[in-house]
Structure 1
Amino acid sequence: MTETPDDRHVGPILHLRGHDAEGLRLAAIVIRPEGAPCGTLRAGDATHDPRAIARLEGLTVWRFDFTLRTRDRGYVFEGESYPVETDLAGDLRLAFLSCNGEEIGDMDRDPAERDAMWDRMRAEHETRPFAVLIQGGDQIYADEVTQGHPLSDDWPDDVPSTASRADLDDLARHLRAGFVRRYMRSLASPGIGGIMARVPTLAVWDDHDICDGWGSLPEAATDSAVGRTLFAVAREMYLLFQHGAVEADIPEIFADPSGAQLGWQRILPGLTLTTPDLRSERRRRRVMGEAGWALLEAPSPEPAQTFVVSSVPLLGPRLSLVEAVMWLWPGMQKYEDDLRDQWQSRAHRADWRRALRAMLRLRARGPVTVLSGEIHLATRAEMAADPGPVHQLVASGIAHRAPPGAYARGLGWLGSLGEGPLGGHPIRILPPPGLRRRYVAERNFLVLERDAGAWAAVWHLEETGPTAPLPL
């Protein structure tokens, strides 16, 4: 991609740190070329100076930490006003998205085509503002960053068994440059940066934020020196660009203060947002370690409504059937890692049941909705429970182009077979409201709205437009 001046000027980008009696606690990052000035930020009666938290690739990442009281209604940066929804106690709108890119050639796409749904989301925000932007994984597609370096050019199929410290440091520099280019290109987009300057974001990562299939690849690759270097750089960039954070900030932001698991929880009035990290501790036969389970299985502090973000769908079709027969067809083996990524994989059956039991315990305390992405389609599901179902809403592919219709129809057939890993709690895959097919092959994002205490969800589909509201 040919670099333009805007690709080196990003921000402000808002990150939601928390909400309490003092108001909305935020961090805002601003990225400028090294040596370029960064102005002050005014929130209410206070003026804040920036603090440099990172310098890399000729850029300085500046951060402001501040609180907006309900009456503040926004902030001012370098003379420009940015309205922010600060009253979260009444009616509320949230946006959810995932899969912001593509595996191959994403940097060369026409920005008008690539970011069309972001522009639509920003228009929706300007009509009726969002209070929080939830990003459900694959915020960048970093698959190509391993190319162009001798240690990682053939990743993950051919990984050097030995490498010197100097060569690994050189690899880290190469990878870091690739990650920075992708993050800066994304955040410099007027549609993306425009909404993230006004709507605080919360983000969880998925495999493409590291590399395709991270954690489901052969462990000889992920445990190698090259694999550990790739993960370390991806993690550093995820903290910096998706949370406006560095290592020292982890105890404040994430549920596990050690940082081994980057799941988080935010408590808002009448709402709990809980998000386990399904990548940091993942192995080919494990979705999470005990730090992740501790977060997922904890009671909801605010049981009026709980949204649980699972970066891969928790309620899904019988993909284990595909795993059982995939070895019968030549060429199907290349999809093994994709299937191993899913909760429904035969390798994760015990973990899947454990996660579903956790949802049932949460549902006994209050309404529970799972938000998921990853599959580049729109769909929904329900798991039978008492006193009402556990909902799952999948919105996937805000920038990733939709897969072929045959793929959606195939998943729809699998979904018609039903699934019930827990006795008495069958799972049904259902179409979004007003549509016939269980899986919709269109780019999309999701709007979650609380109106007079009642929650509903609307999918915004690229061709079909907004769906009818789904009561939760």
Structure 2
Amino acid sequence: MAQLVIGPLLRHVDASTASIWVETSDPCTVTVTAGAEQSTERTFTVHGHHYAIVDVPVSEPVPYQIHLGDEAVWPLETMDPSVIRPVDRLNKVVFGSCRTSVPHDTAHTITHGVDTLFAFGHALTVHDELPDLLIMLGDQVYADEPSKEMLDYIKSRRGDQEPIGEIADFEEYAELYRQAWNDPEIRWLLSTVPTTMIFDDHDLRDDWNTSKDWRAQMARVPWWPRRVVAGLGAYWVYQHLGNLSPAERAADEVYTKLRAGEGDGAAVLDAFAQQADADPSTSRWSYARDFGDTRLIMLDSRCARHLEPRERSMLDATEWAWLEEVLADPPARVLVGSSVPILLPAGIHYIEAWNEALADGAWGKTVARWMEKARQAVDLEHWAAFRRSFDRLLKMLAASGTTVMLLSGDVHYSYVARVKGLPIYQLVCSPIRNPLSRTLRLANVIAQFGVATLLGGLIARTAKLPKPPVRWRITDGPWFPNALATLTQEDGTHVVRWETPTVLDDPPKLKEVARVELTPIR
């Protein structure tokens, strides 16, 4: 008898259709019943694991049930019913990034803090004003920093075979996702709040695609080709597939082949993942969706990078062409999701742009080699480190004539940046659960908001860098606690709240870290 292994996850939801994703223990038919509507889908198989994504019509808020074959498996008796609500506008959006999946005991609370996603799921009920969308901005799993439980699983499979202390293949990724998403509170949350996702480096490995040199170094590592194929394949199954609308999924060649196949589709998925890594222009992980007066654009700022020195670009030519298309004739509000921040503290922005110029040979080959080492050592890889891409994107956003909110994570602290004279805002929320140490917090405040602000512009001039196309500054923050951010529209005003879990309460409660109303700087 088939059972649920992971899920259900409520993924793509619009005004008329909801997509529910599951992993099951055995091949089976998956039936979703939502009120008077019922939809059925047969599972497909990859690397011995079985998945389905079921599209069900919705016209009003309604609880739903799931059957595997003839067996009712959801909702569980211990949980509130899961509910689908049609989404035609984004009035309330929750976002964040960087979540390590470790136990919720005292020892791990000391080292990792309280899990904000866990606390949020525990606090939320179907009687609350539920978010219209949960945006997960990268590092949903840490393939290079697994928990002790995950390490025990790895050791039981392959002992001390390389990579030691890291994920090796699809089977281990499947277990990594299971451990990340199967806490009851998180499971209920993901079954009831629509989610959309994009990867960052730790979903594959720290510093993934930092530079051409990084790729060359990793290509010489014997286990890396298997890892990157497994990582991208697992991302496609566990995260990307649910980002797509039913129409986009129906046009997806990989999904079509997997659904039509009789046996295990591992070869199909692995071939796709290998090609996506070797030539990013052959696939697109970025996507866009419209919700009334809002367009959500989720950017792949990892796999789509063009890394040739002196030609570095955050997005390749194919991706830029797609972005220009989706930014044409925008609605009143555009949300741009990028796992790495676009607007950094100004001093750090200049330092990253300066490092790129020197790594490209502005001061000669010897300095270029040292700057490349520094690029990798201290993570100089944000949009500023692809300066031409930063300039191009900001010019496009400034010319769009619409309100733009840039949603990002990655840096393990939260803040607001505002562009002078334009309704463009950078909203950063990180981490969900992976805080910086006190020492690193202090170092970030000093380096990024003190010394670097003074020196950054000066050293940028030594490489003869042009001024950025816009001016901006950090207006609120930084805040360092584990957090989730909520963006709402209140009486025509955009308001962002950051909330963090309390440490002493059991179960944890959420308390407000900051509340910011967004008005452009003149």
Question: TM-score scaled by structure 2?
Answer: 0.71
Counterpart of 2:22 (choices 26, 30, 33) is 30
**Superimposed CA distance per residue, residues 148-171 of structure 1 (whole angstroms, 9 cap, x where no aligned partner):** 699953899xxxxxxxxxxxxxxx
1:68/1:86 contact within 8 Å kept = yes
Counterpart check, 1:190 vs 2:184: yes
Distance, in Å, in 1 between the alignment partners of 2:87 and 2:118 is 25
Counterpart check, 1:296 vs 2:323: yes
- Structure 2 letter corresponding to 1:13: L
CA shift, 1:95, in A, is 0.6
- Structure 2 letter corresponding to 1:83: V
> Which deviates more, 457-466 or 261-270?
457-466
Counterpart of 2:409 (choices 342, 349, 373) is 373
Distance, in Å, in 2 between the alignment partners of 1:295 and 1:287 is 14
The higher radius of gyration belongs to 2
Counterpart of 2:231 (choices 215, 231, 234) is 234
Stretches of structure 2 that go unaligned for 5 or more consecutive residues are 67-71, 76-80, 255-275, 360-366, 458-464, 503-510
**Superimposed CA distance per residue, residues 200-259 of structure 1 (whole angstroms, 9 cap, x where no aligned partner):** 1111111111111111152313455754433222111111111346999384699x9975
Distance, in Å, in 2 between the alignment partners of 1:415 and 1:261 is 35
Structure 1 residues 277 and 338 mapped into 2: Cα distance closer, same or farther (>3 Å)? Answer: farther
Structure 1 residues 316 and 246 mapped into 2: Cα distance closer, same or farther (>3 Å)? Answer: closer
Counterpart of 1:389 (choices 397, 401, 423) is 423
CA shift, 1:427, in A, is 1.6
1:8/1:184 contact within 8 Å kept = no
User: What is the DSSP-based 3-state SS (H/G/I as helix, E as strand, rest coil) of the residue aligned with 1:281?
Assistant: coil
- Structure 2 letter corresponding to 1:28: I
CA shift, 1:87, in A, is 4.8
Counterpart of 1:412 (choices 449, 468, 472) is 449
1:403/1:441 contact within 8 Å kept = no
User: What is the DSSP-based 3-state SS (H/G/I as helix, E as strand, rest coil) of the residue aligned with 1:278?
Assistant: coil
Distance, in Å, in 2 between the alignment partners of 1:238 and 1:466 is 32
Distance, in Å, in 1 between the alignment partners of 2:161 and 2:392 is 39
**2:69 aligns to what?**
none
Structure 1 residues 470 and 188 mapped into 2: Cα distance closer, same or farther (>3 Å)? Answer: same
CA shift, 1:135, in A, is 0.8
User: What is the DSSP-based 3-state SS (H/G/I as helix, E as strand, rest coil) of the residue aligned with 2:495?
Assistant: strand
CA shift, 1:403, in A, is 3.6
Structure 1 residues 109 and 216 mapped into 2: Cα distance closer, same or farther (>3 Å)? Answer: farther
**1:50 aligns to what?**
41
Counterpart of 2:305 (choices 271, 282, 291) is 282
CA shift, 1:441, in A, is 1.5
**Superimposed CA distance per residue, residues 331-390 of structure 1 (whole angstroms, 9 cap, x where no aligned partner):** x95762543321122xx221221121122122x1x11110000001011111224xx331
2:203/2:231 contact within 8 Å kept = yes
**Superimposed CA distance per residue, residues 265-307 of structure 1 (whole angstroms, 9 cap, x where no aligned partner):** 0100111000111111224433210122123333255421110
- Structure 2 letter corresponding to 1:84: I
Counterpart check, 1:243 vs 2:243: no
2:199/2:339 contact within 8 Å kept = yes
**Superimposed CA distance per residue, residues 31-84 of structure 1 (whole angstroms, 9 cap, x where no aligned partner):** 23236x665211242212232133435x42232122322x24343333634223
Counterpart of 2:284 (choices 261, 271, 274) is 261
Distance, in Å, in 1 between the alignment partners of 2:105 and 2:169 is 24
Counterpart check, 1:343 vs 2:380: no
Identical-pair percentage: 20
Question: TM-score scaled by structure 1?
Answer: 0.78
1:442/1:461 contact within 8 Å kept = yes
1:53/1:246 contact within 8 Å kept = no
Distance, in Å, in 2 between the alignment partners of 1:291 and 1:76 is 41
Distance, in Å, in 2 between the alignment partners of 1:246 and 1:308 is 15
Distance, in Å, in 1 between the alignment partners of 2:483 and 2:253 is 28
**1:161 aligns to what?**
none
